[in-house]
Amino acid sequence: MEKPAGDDSGLWAEYQSGFGNHFSSEALPGALPTEQNNPLLCPYGLYAEQISGTAFTAPRKQNQRSWLYRIKPSVTHEPFHPRVPGHKHLVSEFNQLTSSATPTQLRWKPADVPDAPTDFIDGLYTICGAGSSFLRHGYAIHMYAANKSMEGCAFCNADGDFLIVPQKGRLLITTECGKLQVSPGEMVVLPQGFRFAINLPDGPSRGYVAEVFGTHFQLPELGPIGANGLASPRDFLAPTAWFEESFHPGYTIVQKFGGQLFAAKQNFSPFNVVAWHGNYVPYKYDLIKFCPYNTVLVDHGDPSINTGSLTPVLTAPSDKLGVALLDFVIFPPRWLVAEHTFRPPYYHRNCMSEFMGLIYGTYEAKADGFLPGGASLHSCMTPHGPDTKTYEATIARAEDAEPCRISGTMAFMFESSLVPRICPWALESPNVDADYYQCWIGLKSHFSCNGRPEVNGSFTPSSASCD
Ligand SMILES: O=C(O)Cc1cc(O)ccc1O
Ligand SMILES: [Fe+2]
């Protein structure tokens, strides 16, 4: 049970801990049928309803479904119609009509939260992505900037799972399984199909969203690390049953279906699930609980689970062994101890594409310009690495690098094997940092044919060749 920080109104949400568990929860005693899933008459006169997150026939290890026992079934609504007003900035199919590709390094300054009343749905906008929600393969990366709670409506994403990373402002999320309070520094997964409503108790709010089509997030394998470390299953928190019975004329279900919003009216709250059980559930995780593993002698390990400073919290797998559709990776506070090693991220080109965001603090590879709430995108094989200031400062103190602690920072990466296409409004945004490339242009040659590289002195280009 957790008390919301800064909230003296009492407990807002109660949780159950674990990842991938078969949870069960009831808000009224005896509301959960215990002998079978689908009794002829459910306790309290409830309706039984299943939500399936995988095909019925998916292997048992991957199979995800939950049984919801509710006052009225979710089918009790008028027909869906395209929502008016529509939403022009959501994409779930990435092709030449919706988005474009560029290999250039991209960086965005933090977006301002709009002054006009904007809720989570209207404040959501797609940055980039790959594949198609219709074909059940791919992902979209969105951001949101909003200032007001959703009122009289619930959102349902038929396209994929949302992994939300708030950067500013708490999210009070009511779901069919119960409530979740998510603060900056935490993340939350709202799986495909669940209805939810987001309240913004702190007003101006913004953050990042990864959406995966056709698969779900799972914990990565630990390999030689052993049975413990990285994100611990018990630190994942799922809601407990919570319901309201309200006559609510004009309540709207807003369904994202193929990137388009549809609306359907009903006269009651969809948060009418009195009891539920199953392993298909929303959940949250506090990133500071992550237990990173890292280099203890030399070199900057590869950004992989075993050796990197870069360790996936969650991974959405592709069909290729060891290759992610989308990894969620964090760069948490930790000790750097490597000897005679360039400790920041190395310069690199990667067949995977890297979208990064910063929740708070500064990121070790960028002395300037990568700000909390901002973002960067380095697509497949696009070169990138530390900016000039970081490089020069690192080699200037190379001789006496003591163990040091990176503190007060939380950066993250959505890393994918599918190459993203970028939405036009993201490319044309006034927040695009047109001078991003300048952060590397100043990297000068330290090359010297004759011995040790010149580090602090001035460098004179030489026409001599070394052989
Ligand atoms: O590009 C980045 O900053 C992310 C990153 C960090 C790191 O430590 C190694 C590789 C990598 O892509
Ligand atoms: Fe990188």
The closest residue, in CA terms, to atom 7 on ligand 1 is 345
Q: Is the CB of 303 under 6 A from ligand 1?
A: yes
pLDDT at 113: 97
pLDDT band at 246, cuts 50/70/90? confident
pLDDT at 320: 86
Distance in angstroms (rounded) separating the CA atoms of residues 389 and 367: 6
How do residues 410-443 score in pLDDT, each as one tens digit? 999 999 999 999 999 999 999 999 999 999 999 9
Answer yes or no: is pLDDT of 141 > 70.
yes
The closest residue, in CA terms, to atom 8 on ligand 1 is 345
**Residue 346 CA, closest ligand 1 atom number:** 9
pLDDT band at 377, cuts 50/70/90? very high
How do residues 189-209 score in pLDDT, each as one tens digit? 999 999 999 999 999 999 999
pLDDT at 222: 86
Find the ligand nearest to 307 CA.
Answer: 1
Distance in angstroms (rounded) separating the CA atoms of residues 121 and 190: 14
DSSP output for 128-151: EEEEETTTTEEEEEEEEEE-S---
pLDDT at 51: 98
pLDDT band at 404, cuts 50/70/90? very high
Pick the CATH number of 76-270+282-287 from 3.40.50.620, 3.30.420.140, 2.60.120.10, 3.40.50.970: 2.60.120.10
Number of H helices, E strands in the chain: 3, 28
Q: Is the CB of 354 under 6 A from ligand 1?
A: yes
pLDDT at 205: 98
Among candidates 447, 140, 415, which has minimal Cα distance to 304? 415
Query: Is residue 198 within 8 Å of residue 171, measured between CB atoms?
Result: yes
pLDDT band at 467, cuts 50/70/90? very low
How do residues 49-59 score in pLDDT, each as one tens digit? 999 999 999 99
Q: Is the CB of 345 under 6 A from ligand 1?
A: yes
Handedness of CA 319, 323, 328, 334 (dihedral sign): positive
Among candidates 193, 181, 252, which has minimal Cα distance to 11? 181
Superfamily of domain 290-431: Jelly Rolls (2.60.120.10)
Among candidates 441, 340, 432, which has minimal Cα distance to 383? 441
The set of catalytic residues is 300
Q: Is the CB of 93 under 6 A from ligand 1?
A: no
pLDDT band at 372, cuts 50/70/90? very high
pLDDT band at 12, cuts 50/70/90? confident
CA 219 – ligand 2 centroid, Å: 22
ipTM given for this complex: 0.99
Least confident of 28-42, 145-159, 190-204, 321-335: 321-335
Answer yes or no: is pLDDT of 160 > 70.
yes
Provide mean pLDDT across the span 144-171. Answer: 98
Answer yes or no: is pLDDT of 463 > 90.
no
What are the angstrom distances between the C-alpha of 25 and each of 43, 178, 189, 277?
14, 9, 19, 6
The closest residue, in CA terms, to atom 4 on ligand 1 is 345
* Same fold? 76-270+282-287, 290-431: yes
Consult the annotation and say whether 89 binds a ligand: no
What are the angstrom distances between the C-alpha of 116 and each of 112, 147, 204?
12, 8, 11
CA 354 – ligand 2 centroid, Å: 6
Ligand 1 binding pocket mutation candidate from 327, 331, 414 (most atoms within 8 A of CB) = 331
User: Between 461 and 448, whose confidence is greater?
Assistant: 448
pLDDT at 306: 35
Distance in angstroms (rounded) separating the CA atoms of residues 100 and 93: 12
pLDDT band at 255, cuts 50/70/90? very high
pLDDT at 224: 84
Domains in the chain: boundaries: 76-270+282-287, 290-431
Answer yes or no: is pLDDT of 459 > 50.
no
CA 121 – ligand 2 centroid, Å: 31
Answer yes or no: is pLDDT of 87 > 50.
yes
CA 6 – ligand 1 centroid, Å: 35
Distance in angstroms (rounded) separating the CA atoms of residues 209 and 89: 14
Query: Is residue 171 within 8 Å of residue 208, measured between CB atoms?
Result: no
Answer yes or no: is pLDDT of 456 > 80.
no
CA 437 – ligand 1 centroid, Å: 17
Find the ligand nearest to 330 CA.
Answer: 1
Ligand 1 binding pocket mutation candidate from 413, 414, 417, 439 (most atoms within 8 A of CB) = 413
pLDDT at 321: 85
- Chain mean pLDDT for the chain: 92
Among candidates 13, 6, 5, which has minimal Cα distance to 288? 5
| DSSP letter (8 states) at residue 44 | G
Answer yes or no: is pLDDT of 2 > 60.
no
Among candidates 161, 162, 92, which has minimal Cα distance to 131? 92
What are the angstrom distances between the C-alpha of 118 and each of 147, 206, 218, 443, 456?
6, 11, 32, 43, 51
Provide mean pLDDT across the span 91-99. Answer: 98
Chain centroid to CA 29: 35
pLDDT at 466: 43
Q: State how beta strands 283-286 and 353-360 pair.
A: unpaired
pLDDT band at 3, cuts 50/70/90? very low
Provide mean pLDDT across the span 172-187. Answer: 98
Tokens representing 49 are 């309803």
- In the chain, what is the straight-line distance between the N-terminal and C-terminal CA atoms, in Å? 68
pLDDT at 454: 64
How do residues 256-312 score in pLDDT, each as one tens digit? 999 999 999 999 999 999 999 999 999 999 999 999 988 899 998 765 543 333 456
What are the angstrom distances between the C-alpha of 183 and each of 138, 263, 314, 355, 383?
27, 29, 18, 21, 34
Answer yes or no: is pLDDT of 33 > 50.
yes
Consult the annotation and say whether 348 binds a ligand: yes
What are the angstrom distances between the C-alpha of 172 and each of 40, 193, 199?
35, 19, 5
Half-sphere exposure (Cβ direction) of 220: Cα atoms closer than 13 Å: 27
Q: Is the CB of 343 under 6 A from ligand 1?
A: no
